[in-house]
Structure 1
Amino acid sequence: MKVETMKFVFRGLMAPVLTPYANDRSFSIQLDIIPKYAKYLSSVGINAVLVNGTSGEGMSMTVDERKATTEAWAAAVKETNQILMVQVGGACLKDVQEMAAHAERLGVDGLLCLPELFNKPATVDQLVEYLKYVGQAAPKTPLLYYHIPSYTGVKVSMPQFLATAACNIPTFAGAKYTDSNLEEGTRCLEVKSETLGLFLGCDHVLAGAFALGFDSAVATSLNMLPRANIKILEAMRNNHPSEALQEQRKLSQAINVITRNGGWVSTMKAAMSLMTSIHVGPPRPPLIPLSDEQIGVLKEDLAALELM
C-alpha cells in the first residue's frame, strides 16, 4: 500500500563540506572553524550544505564526533540561513538510528543515508527494508538515499528502488546519485512522484546531467570552485547549453589538476586550504595527505590556471 511521503524542498547546489582536522598527528576535529566555513560558503552563493558525507570523512569519525560536527553546523546555519542535510549512514544500524534521531532533534532539514556497508543489500527490497529502520528513528525528517556504488559496491536498480521506497517509507524524499551513468539517472528522473528529489554527485558531468533534466547537485568542487558550478546551472536554466559546456570544461580541467596527485578527499582538502581562507587540515588515516612536494606542484598548477 502506498504511503504519503515527505518532500525535501531544497533544489539547487549543495556543498558536501570537508571536516577540518588539526594539522598534527592528533587529527582532532577543529569545530571552531565551522562558523567561518559556513559564512564563507554563504558569501559565495552556496545556500545548502551536506555534513559527514564522503568528502566530510563521516565514516572515519566516531559517533560522538559526527554528532558534535552536526551540532556545530546546526548552530552555524542558524546564522547563515543555509539548508542543512546530514549523512548518518556508514555505521551499525543502532548507531545510524542514534545519529538520525540526534539530527532530527537538532532540526536539520534532511537526512542522507548510505546502505549497510558490510552486509550489503543485494536487492531493492533489502535496501528499502534497511532504510525503513533508519526512517523510523527520525519520523519527522525527510530521508534520502546515498547512491555511490563505486564506494559501496551496492548496485541495485535505482529507478526500481526509488519507486519502491517512495511507496513504502513515509519519510523517503529522494537520493544523492553519485554515478556517471546518466542513462540510469535519466530513468530515475522519470519515476512518477511529486516528492522525490535527485541530487547529482558527479562534478565532471554536471552540464550533461542538467541538460537531461537534473536540477540539483551535491558537488565537492563547490567548496573551492563555487562560481564555475553556479555558472553551469545558471547557463542551463537560461537555455545556454554551449556556455554550460564551456564552463564544465573549465571545471573539469581544474578538478583534474587538483586530483592528479592523490585521492579525491586528500587532494580536495589540499586545494581548499590553498584556494580559500578555510584551512581544513589533512585527511584522517587511512587516507594519505599530499606530500610537501605534491602540494608545491598543486600550487604551480593552480597558479597556471589562475585559480590562486
Structure 2
Amino acid sequence: MKNYQRLQGLVAATFTPMLPDGDIHYAVIDQYAQHIAGAGISGVFVCGTTGEFTSLTTEERKLILEHWIRAAEGRFKVIAHVGSDNQRESVELSRHAAESGAWGVGSIAPSFFKPSSVRDLIDFFKPVAAAAAELPFYYYNMPAMTGVSLSVAQFLQEGKQEIPNLAGVKYTHNNLMEMGDCIHLDNGAFEVLHGYDEILICGLALGAVAGVGSTYNYLASVYLNIMKAMEEGDLVSARVFQMQSIEVVKVIIKYGGGVRGGKAIMNLIGIECGECRLPIAPFGKEEYDSLRKDLEGIGFRGK
C-alpha cells in the first residue's frame, strides 16, 4: 500500500451538503474543508451513513469525493466509503476512489441480501478492495444498520489472507468485548477505528487510537480533549469531556439522530449543509428554534 500509515486522532464522517431542491451543494465543500482543517481533525470519511450514501446516485458519490479530495489540499486524509448492496457499484466506486487520489477506502456490509457467513463477506469484499489495491481497505462494521452480526475478528484474520490491503475495521458497535479482541488480535495487526462517539473513552481505554464519527464535525475540541486526557492518564477529565459529548448526543437523538439532528447543527454553526433527502424529514423553523434552545441549555458552542 502506497504511503500507508495508521490513522490517529479524529476522522469526521462528513455530511452531504444539499440545496433546497435536494441537489448536491458542491460549493459548500470548500468551506467545509476549511472548517475540518482548522478543527484539528486528521481525516474525513466521505459518503458514509452520515453522508446519506444510500440516498445518493453513483455519479453524485464520485463527484462529492472528487470535491473533497481537491478541497482537502493534502491537509487531512480523505477516505472514500464505497459500500453498496450492489457489488459491481462498490467495485466501480473503489476504482474511482483510487484513480481520484483518495487516501483509503471503506465499505459497509451489504444489508438487503445479507452475507450469511464470514466466507460470504470476504467474497463480497475481495473485488472491491482489489479495485483499490494500493490503498488501505477498511470493513465498516455497523450491525445496528445492516443487521450483519458476523464475527469481526474472524473476518479480519481470514480476510487478510485473501485481501492484502485489509487494514482494519471501522467499528461502529457497542460490543466492547469484541472490539477489544479485534484491537489486540495478532499482536495489534489491525487498525480498529472507534465508531460510537458517545463511548469514545471506552475504545481508547481498550487501545484504540483513532475514531470515525459524525459529531466530530462540530464538537472536535471535546473529543481531542478526551484523547489528550486519556493519553495523560487523567481519567477524571476524560469522563467530564465524555459527558459533554453524551449531552450533545442526547439532543441529536431527540431530533432524529446523528444524520438529521447533526446536519441541522451544521447549519446552525454556519456550514450550510441543507436538509436531508427523503425519507428523512426536513427541519421546520420551530424545530430549529427548539434545537438551538436545547443546545444553548447544555452550553454547546460548536467548536
TM range (shorter): over 0.9
Q: Which moved more, 1:252-261 or 1:192-201?
A: 192-201
Once the 2 structures are TM-superposed, how far is the Cα of residue 66 of structure 1 from its aligned partner?
0.2
Q: Which residue matches 2:169?
A: 175
1:41 is aligned to 36
The aligned counterpart of 2:18 is: 21
The alignment's TM-score, normalised by the length of structure 2, stands at 0.95
Match of 1:288 in 2: 281
Distance 1:158 1:183 in 2: 11
TM-aligned CA deviation for residue 263 of structure 1: 3.3
The reply to whether residue 192 of structure 1 matches residue 178 of structure 2 is no
* Contact 1:7/1:196, CA 8 A, preserved across alignment: no
* Partners of 1:299 and 1:15 in 2: CA distance: 22
2:299 to 276, 283, 306: 306
Give 3-state SS (helix, strand or coil) of 2:105's partner. strand
Does the aligned pair in 2 maintain the 1:8–1:197 contact within 8 Å? no
Write the distance in 2 (CA, Å) between the matches of 1:65 and 1:164: 33
Residue type of the partner of 1:146? Y
Q: 1:222 aligns with which of 211, 216, 219?
A: 216
Gaps of 5+ in 2: none
Partner of 2:139: 145
1:260-290 residue CA offsets vs partner (Å, 9 max, x unmatched)? 132331111001111x221100011111223
CA distance in 1, matches of 2:169, 2:14: 18
String of CA shifts for 1:217-263, please: whole Å, max 9, x gaps.
00111111111111111111111111111100111012212321323
Whether contact under 8 Å (1:5, 1:171) holds in the other structure is no
Give the Å deviation of 1:8: 5.1
2:230 aligned partner: 236
Offset at 1:191?
A: 1.0
Question: Which residue pairs with 1:121 in the alignment?
Answer: 115
Letter in 2 for 1:94: R
SS of residue paired to 1:105 = helix
**Residue number in structure 2 paired with 1:262:** 256
Q: What are the Cα deviations for residues 106-125 of structure 1, in whole angstroms up to 9, with x where unaligned? A: 12110000112222111111
Q: State the one-letter code of the partner of 1:16.
A: A
Instruction: Report the Cα distance in structure 2 between the residues aligned to 1:47 and 1:15, rounded to whole angstroms.
Output: 8
| CA distance 1:224–1:238, change in 2 (3 Å) | same
Partner Cα distance (1:5, 1:147) in 2:
24
Deviation at residue 6 of structure 1 after TM alignment: 9.6
Q: Distance in 1 between matches of 2:176 and 2:35?
A: 32
Q: What are the Cα deviations for residues 105-146 of structure 1, in whole angstroms up to 9, with x where unaligned? A: 012110000112222111111111111111121221111100
Distance 2:7 2:209 in 1: 10
In structure 1, the residue corresponding to 2:290 is in which secondary structure?
Answer: helix
* Contact 2:11 2:216 survives alignment (8 Å): yes
Q: Give the CA deviation at 1:291.
A: 2.7
1:279 aligns with 2:279: no
User: What percent identity do the matched residue pairs reach?
Assistant: 32
Tell me if 1:70 matches 2:80. no
Match of 1:31 in 2: 26
The match for 2:95 among 76, 88, 101 is: 101
Secondary structure at 1:169 match in 2: coil
Change beyond 3 A, Cα 1:5–1:76? closer
Distance between the aligned counterparts of 2:176 and 2:49, measured in 1? 21
Distance, in Å, in 2 between the alignment partners of 1:247 and 1:155 is 31
- TM-score, normalisation: structure 1: 0.94
Residues 193 and 163 of structure 1: is their aligned pair in 2 closer, same or farther, counting only changes over 3 Å? farther
The code of the aligned residue for 1:211 comes to A
Please give the per-residue CA displacement for 1:159-193, whole angstroms capped at 9, x wherever unaligned.
Answer: 11111112221111111000011111111112116
Give the whole-Å Cα distance in 1 for the aligned partners of 2:57 and 2:28.
19
Runs of 4+ in 1 over 4 A off after TM superposition: 4-8
Letter in 2 for 1:60: S
Which residue type is aligned with residue 62 of structure 1?
T
Cα distance in 2 between the residues matched to 1:242 and 1:122: 43
